[in-house]
Amino acid sequence: MDEPNQTPAEVRLAKARRRFIQALAAGTTVVTLGGIGYAIAGRTDEERLAAELADGGRRRLPPGQRALVEKPEAPAGNQPQPEIEPVVETPPEPKLLRVDATSKQTPRLPPGQTERTTLKPMGGMPGDPSRDAFKLKVYGEVEEELEISFRDLLGFTQIEQTCDVHCVTGWSLLGAIWSGVRVADIAERVKLKDSAKFVIFEAAHGYTANVDIEEALKPNVLVAYEVNQRPLAQAHGSPVRGLVPDRYFWKSAKYLTGIRFTKRDYPGFWETRGYNNHADPWKQERFS
């Protein structure tokens, strides 16, 4: 049974895992190599990943390869029947959009930036990492204030967005896949008032980041919970962070607790400590 807080990527993986287990149980092609039973597995990426996981993650396969997955030696004597998980009816999945929001500029890197291949942990005080405990308060200049649970987030259109992020200290991560929900979709749900001119992303322990409403409602601005199909690590804001790709990365508040729509601007944690209020990496708006 799927867990209520599973993201689309996790649901795909769980399904692939079930298919893999069923295929094993149904005795899918087994070849014998040196006395060890191997089952040939893996049709989709998820199935291959499930096969890897079933194998303790020892094998990582390039795309297009098939996994040979070790089957435990059958015990001698009476063999218990393998248990096949019943096929369960799953509720309709929310819409999933795959979006390419990477920079189409040449060069791809904004001035003064160097590329990294992973996020660099930049610190900050973590909040509660539990998805079950997660609550996002959406309030301010809205008709209907809301407290959004992690499960509620999964009811919005799910976005899997490839985009670039740029830290003011000079590193950029290009082309990672960020999964989450559009701030614009949340704003629609709470019925944004015309008086909303700014958005304050609020995080655990009082960290805030401010952007103007036009920026916040752009389709590439998300509340995000996965990078490259894996849950955000605690260092990177679990369970949920803001993601504002077209501003320096300090605007992307980790350990997100609230989205507040306001009439006037409230410069945030770094914006009140010498950093630029607007923070456009292409204009090198680093300091104020």
Ligand X SMILES: Nc1nc2c(c(=O)[nH]1)N[C@H]1C(S)=C(S)[C@@H](COP(=O)(O)O)O[C@H]1N2
State the residues that interact with Mo ion by CB under 5 A: 122, 167, 250
* Rounded-to-integer distance, Cα 95 and Cα 181, Å: 11
Of 124-143, binders to ligand X (CB under 6 A) are 124
Q: How far is the CB of 196 from ligand X (least distance, A)?
A: 22
Please report whether residue 191 would count as binding ligand X according to CB under 6 A. no
List the structure tokens of 229. Answer: 């199909």
**Smaller CB separation from ligand X, 48 or 260:** 260
Q: How far is the CB of 48 from ligand X (least distance, A)?
A: 28
**Smaller CB separation from Mo ion, 179 or 252:** 252
Query: Do 135 and 149 touch, CB atoms closer than 8 A?
Result: yes
* Rounded-to-integer distance, Cα 288 and Cα 285, Å: 8
Interface residue with ligand X among 24, 67, 167, 279 (CB under 6 A) is 167
Q: How far is the CB of 269 from ligand X (least distance, A)?
A: 7
> Which span (31-39, 133-141, 175-183, 234-242) binds ligand X, by CB under 6 A?
234-242
At 178 the three-state DSSP class reads: strand
Q: Is the peptide bond before 239 cis (omega within 30 degrees of 0)?
A: yes
Please report whether residue 249 would count as binding ligand X according to CB under 6 A. yes
3-state SS track over 217-243: CCCCCEEEEEECCEECCHHHCCCCEEE
What strands lie across the sheet with 208-212, from one edge to the other? 146-149, 135-140, 256-262, 198-203, 208-212
Residue 255 interacts with, from Mo ion, ligand X, none (CB under 5-8 Å by kind): ligand X
Query: Do 212 and 191 touch, CB atoms closer than 8 A?
Result: no
Q: How far is the CB of 168 from Mo ion (least distance, A)?
A: 5
Interface residue with ligand X among 64, 86, 107, 123 (CB under 6 A) is 123
**Smaller CB separation from Mo ion, 167 or 183:** 167
At 204 the three-state DSSP class reads: helix
Task: Point out which residues bind ligand X (CB under 6 A).
Answer: 119-124, 167, 203, 207, 235-237, 249-250, 252-255, 270
